[in-house]
Structure 1
């Protein structure tokens, strides 16, 4: 079984210089992987996260520093018989962020599409694919609470949950 922390839109250090305590608690516990769906803003976010677990990440629309040029627009990962696609969600056609993310990954036959950009937690099935936006742990915008996601993957089964905090 793999336990994955899913975050996006950290916008650090502008929206905080350190991760909030709920995220730090998760990082200190047994996390196998970290998925970051873009808008890191600073390389220091990546550097800190990789001290806890292997990190998969994509470039977001505000990632403009030189280091972010090394980030892909899309990541595809096979894990425990689950195919995961991750994009930020700002590219392509579609009226909504979930629609853009879905269209960007439609040909990848992903079981799970992780995306960010809107800062709005989202968890919905479309056909055989689950669309999941963790929200943001540091920049809730118009949301009532900050949020992140946890995925538990075990031999072709996946359990996804949002976690909220103030």
Structure 2
């Protein structure tokens, strides 16, 4: 199963359309996971035109997005348990990745996907893959825009970032 992973699109403020680099890759995926700060349901519509979409809400999302997606969830794909959270809560004092770990401290997972910081991250923590795709439209202090791709096969996750320099 091929999965597109994206967060922090902030579409109304930073961009009007999803970047071409993202749409080209996401046309090839089986599922898209959005990790919050959609800001507008228009992002859902644009992503859903490419592949099925699942997601959670972030700290910049309004009531419509919160009601539709919730703020924390666990999904299982091809035998892999994945936690999804934006990463702004619960506060851990250990950065966004620490917040994401704290959000799922009570459950057994193979992977935690989160956003919020706009900083791409991929690391293994006690057998759990922590993955932040960065942002495809608002790179902040990062050199490049980014999103993620994951392949899950026979319970094994292979993840990578896709980096690019134009949000068009």
> TM over 0.5: same fold?
yes
Task: Report how far residue 65 of structure 1 moved.
Answer: 4.6
Deviation, structure 1 residue 74: 0.9
**What residue number does 2:164 align with?**
165
Q: Which residue of 2 aligns with 1:82?
A: 80
Q: How many residues align?
A: 164
Mapping 1:18-97, distance limit 5 Å: 18-28=17-27, 30-95=28-93, 96-97=95-96
TM-score by length of 2: 0.94
Q: CA RMSD in A?
A: 1.1
TM-score (norm 1): 0.95
Gaps of 5+ in 1: none
Q: Is the 8 A contact 1:42 1:65 kept in 2?
A: no
- SS of residue paired to 1:52: coil
SS of the aligned residue for 1:77 comes to strand
- Superposed CA deviations along residues 85-138 of structure 1, whole A, max 9, x for unmatched, are 100001112120000000101222110000000000011111011110000000
2:133 maps to what in 1?
A: 134
Paired position in structure 1 for 2:107? 108
2-structure distance, mates of 1:133, 1:141: 15
Gaps of 5+ in 2: none
Q: Tell me how far apart the structure 1 counterparts of residues 104 and 53 of structure 2 sit (CA, whole Å).
A: 20
Contact 1:39–1:59 under 8 Å retained in 2:
yes
